[in-house]
Structure 1
Amino acid sequence: MFISYISDFQLSDRFGRKTMLAVGSVTYTLLANIISWLPNLTVLLVFRFCMGLMHPTSIHAGYTLALEVNQPKHRAATGILIFLPWAFCDIALGGYGYLLRDWRWFSFTVSLPALLFLPALWFIDESPRWLIVRGRYDDALQVLRKAARWNKAELPAEGELLALMDDIKKEALIDGKEGEASTPGFMNSLKVIVKEVTVLVKTRRIRSITLSFYMQFIVLGMVYYGISFGADKLGVDPFVYMAVNGVVEIPSGTVTIPLVGKLGRRLSCTLSFVVTAGSLMVLGFIPSGLNWLVITMAMVGKLAISIAYQVVFLYACELFPTEVRVRGLGTSTILAKAGAVLAPFILEILGSIKSWLPMVIFGIAGFLAAVSTFWLPESFTPPMMDTVAELEAVYGAKETRTATDEYQLEHPKEVIREQA
């Protein structure tokens, strides 16, 4: 997981979203198509390790890039629909795996379509938000002009744009001292590493956001995969169970869009965790013999945690500022994977005591995750922040929403300039 941390969000924040999306996608696709024909298990495991390294690299960089170039009104639809193919693939793989049992041909045929995505990388532009934070104003202007031309929009004067970009760059905590990162020596290199690692907990507001999402992602990984791994406990055919899981996840990629649009991110997140907790905790009180009710409640929990996954991922991407966005998502995802690692141990150890006990534990964890949302600000109306300093200026001044707060949330760049 540590190596995944280095290759994923640290390099994406340093070298760019498009760069790491391209590196991750190309490497993953090539390895996935080669792995089916490897001669021995050792080489296969090495390739699988490299694939596991590249998968989050491309996913997180691509997801972040997609949201950073979208207007606020389109972010929810983009951030949720982008994962809808996952549900359809779950449904298809259940049936396809049942029909094609040879693992080599199965792996090769499901990996081959990934080659169709690679030409699209040529037409993708870098995130202008990231370019601004890194001080590459000319490249950012080129991307913005291209976007304005395609959308038939008119940009402000170049001088005004450059002044705004300069304000954003000055507020960036990372590489704020340009000479420090390039100065040779062990101590200076160590200072840069410590600065990059601690930036997510350096100030009060970013610290509360980071720790809240860490709690939620641990629960997401543990509960989501815990329910998915519980097929044998429920006595269901694994192929059918996988297909049903895909069907259950389709609403999480569709009805979630109007849900977050009407209720906002925080309330949607809280409700989905509460429904998860309620549906799983009730399993401990269902009389034996009512297997249909057990499966029904488990699937309700799977639906709710799938919705929570979509909302929390969108929510985190909106709240983490541009300069640390992929870093925040990446560290959060590491904790989600840690939760997924815990899931089978909870199922086996606690399941040997009482079959329903693991699901109750997952339900309690879902309730705790719902409580952790109380420390998060709403991200429905305001634009995405670019720097940690901007986040602190907008969200950190007051916890209650007044007329002044509304102005700050809608005009963060103006607030920064006024305070300067």
Structure 2
Amino acid sequence: MSDYDDSFDVLLTSIGFGRWQAPIILATVLVAAQLPVHLVGSPFVSAPMDFHCSPTPPAENQSALFNASGTNDTYYDNKCLEVPVNISDDLMEETYNGTGYFTGLPTCPYIEYDTSIFTSTINSDWHIVCDHDNQRPFYQMMYNIGGLIGSSLGGHIGDRFGRKKSVQVGCVTHLVAVMLTVTVPSYPFILLMRMVVGVAMVVMLLPAWSLALEVTPSRHRSLVGMLMGLPYSIFVAANAIIAYYIRTWEYLLLAGAFPGVILFPLAMYIDESPRWLVQKLREEKAIRVLESAVNFNNAKLSEPVDVTVKKLVEAAKESAGASNSQSLRSQLQELLKYVRSPAMRVILILSPTLWFLQSFLYLSVAVNANNFTTSGPFLYMALTGLMDGSAILLSTPLATRLGRKVIIFAGMFGGGVLFFLELLVPSGYGWARWILVMAGFLLVGGSFQVNYIYGPELFPTETRARGFGFLNLLGNIGFICTPFVTENLAKHAWWTGGVFFGVSGLLGSFTIPLLPETRNKPLPETLQDVEDRRNKKLMEKAKRKNERATEENTT
């Protein structure tokens, strides 16, 4: 940490944690409140609905007759026509009997949906069945692609225009995209808006998270960083409850976006990050913001705010001059130096692999509700929110006692084993399947939480931000791969999901032993520190080996 960072943390410590930070923390919570309906909401919004295909319009109220006779399950058989129908103009009718639709699909010209669980979803409104069944993964995938784009845009906008401005832009973009999604009758347009929503959410989330941490004194920062993950878990469970009462996808999306209506005026009111203002040498604005902080928190400073800010601005100028002096050529040389380093090479290979597998596993289990249960995904999603919140509360304190590697290895390995065991449970023991899957998700969620602490600690200070960004990039790619398993492969064979989950957990755990432990260890400042950390471990291992050999010889 630079002298500038130390000085700013001293100032924040003097200001304290109180009323000034409250609206900023609330804004971060409101951003997190909008995330679940998009990231893990596909089991509700784009859920597959049981259907019945007909080559011609069936008799009126035919599905109702089947329901009355108690054979409704056999009527909605989810089967496409074995012999495709030649679609002619005289067959093209928009609806029939108010319950079915003309799809224009040769293997399912007319379709009726079972609305006992959902009134309508993306899949039913746009007939993502039979000939269009391969389009099912796109709804989830487009959001994750947007998140991948937003990961780079969010950091750029937040660093260039400020954390506050980025939250405002992301909030407006998100609200507009959601409104267009539910009003424009075009599936390709919905997918485009889905990607825009993914971009907007990350453009909001990353700067909001940075803003909350940048206004928090160092002694509270770890606790605040840990607890800020809880609102997401709470709103995952809340989203499941809301979806239970709102069974139409358009209204559910609007309900999920409603916190943005509160967020926008709040984002206009909150202060910009004073740390960012100082880094951008905006001295007068930084003074006004910090004076407001002092007044709100009733703080007492040893010297006037303007004097402190002037010193910080001078330190920021020196720091900026040092960082800007590095040319593109020297940056490439630095990258090559990192690749050639044995210790860093292990980290650059294994840590991104872990993030890819862990992200894929976490999201895959979270959105696998419709493949796991046929009675509705509501309880499944509510329990995943509960497990995720419990994982945050349990894993972070344990990581400080047991170490990062132990928790991550146990979570990934234990989760992988439990997902494999779930495949062996007989059909009559559904309660056992629930216990195994939820326990596995708890373990994976705990390891995921600890990895957000562990990942940045592996990289030296000089490249920590870039290294953590690279890990998040691989994590987003893991998210993108999720729907191909949960939407495509799982419909062909029931066991594919469990196999992929188990394999991902076990493979991820195998990357841990070769990575260094960071608990109670000083963070590396340079690449040489990373090498020294590895060499010290090798020397200790060789010493223990020699001691054992000596003991064996003496005996």
Which TM class, normalised by the smaller chain length? 0.7 to 0.9
2:94 maps to what in 1? none
1:176 equivalenced with 2:314 (yes/no): no
1:378 maps to what in 2? 518
2:437 maps to what in 1? 298
1:84 maps to what in 2? 230
1:340 equivalenced with 2:479 (yes/no): yes
Distance 1:201 1:266, change over 3 A: same
Structure 2 CA distance for aligned equivalents of residues 111 and 264 of structure 1: 38
Structure 2 CA distance for aligned equivalents of residues 137 and 376 of structure 1: 40
8 Å CA contact 2:419–2:437 kept in 1: the answer is yes
Matching of residues 19-418 of structure 1 within 5 Å: 19-121=165-267, 122-126=269-273, 128=275, 136=281, 138=283, 142=287, 150=297, 152=300, 154=302, 165=316, 168-169=319-320, 172=323, 175-177=324-326, 191=328, 204=341, 209-236=347-374, 237-286=376-425, 289-316=428-455, 327-347=466-486, 355-356=494-495, 358-373=497-512, 374-378=514-518, 390-392=525-527, 394-399=529-534
Q: Using structure 2 for the length normalisation, give the TM-score.
A: 0.57
Q: Alpha-carbon deviations, 1:278-321, whole Å to 9, x = none?
A: 32233355456433222211111111112222222243456667
Distance 1:326 1:68, change over 3 A: farther
Of residues 5-14 and 268-277 in structure 1, the stretch that sits farther from structure 2 once superposed is: 5-14
Structure 2 CA distance for aligned equivalents of residues 323 and 131 of structure 1: 22
Q: Following TM superposition, by how much is the alpha carbon of 1:209 offset from its aligned partner in structure 2, in angstroms?
A: 4.7
Structure 2 CA distance for aligned equivalents of residues 349 and 303 of structure 1: 25
Distance 1:285 1:400, change over 3 A: farther
8 Å CA contact 1:208–1:375 kept in 2: the answer is yes
Structure 2 CA distance for aligned equivalents of residues 140 and 220 of structure 1: 42
Q: Following TM superposition, by how much is the alpha carbon of 1:89 offset from its aligned partner in structure 2, in angstroms?
A: 1.8
2:56 maps to what in 1? none
Structure 2 CA distance for aligned equivalents of residues 318 and 139 of structure 1: 35
Q: Following TM superposition, by how much is the alpha carbon of 1:368 offset from its aligned partner in structure 2, in angstroms?
A: 3.1
> Which structure shows the higher helix fraction?
1
Answer 1 or 2: higher relative contact order, Cα 8 Å, separation at least 6: 1
> Cα RMSD between the aligned structures?
4.3
- Ranges in structure 2 where 5+ consecutive residues have no aligned partner: 1-144, 538-555
**Aligned with 1:59: secondary structure?**
helix
Structure 1 CA distance for aligned equivalents of residues 274 and 414 of structure 2: 36
Percent identical: 23
Structure 2 CA distance for aligned equivalents of residues 343 and 29 of structure 1: 26
Which of the two has higher C-alpha Rg? 2
8 Å CA contact 1:224–1:305 kept in 2: the answer is yes
Aligned residues: 381
Q: Alpha-carbon deviations, 1:192-216, whole Å to 9, x = none?
A: 9x86996996684766555444222
8 Å CA contact 1:284–1:356 kept in 2: the answer is yes
Distance 1:39 1:277, change over 3 A: closer
Structure 2 CA distance for aligned equivalents of residues 11 and 203 of structure 1: 33
1:188 maps to what in 2? none
Q: Alpha-carbon deviations, 1:138-176, whole Å to 9, x = none?
A: 47974677767745455898597567646644653xx33
Amino acid at match of 1:105: Y
Q: Following TM superposition, by how much is the alpha carbon of 1:118 offset from its aligned partner in structure 2, in angstroms?
A: 2.3
Structure 2 CA distance for aligned equivalents of residues 322 and 280 of structure 1: 37
1:416 maps to what in 2? none
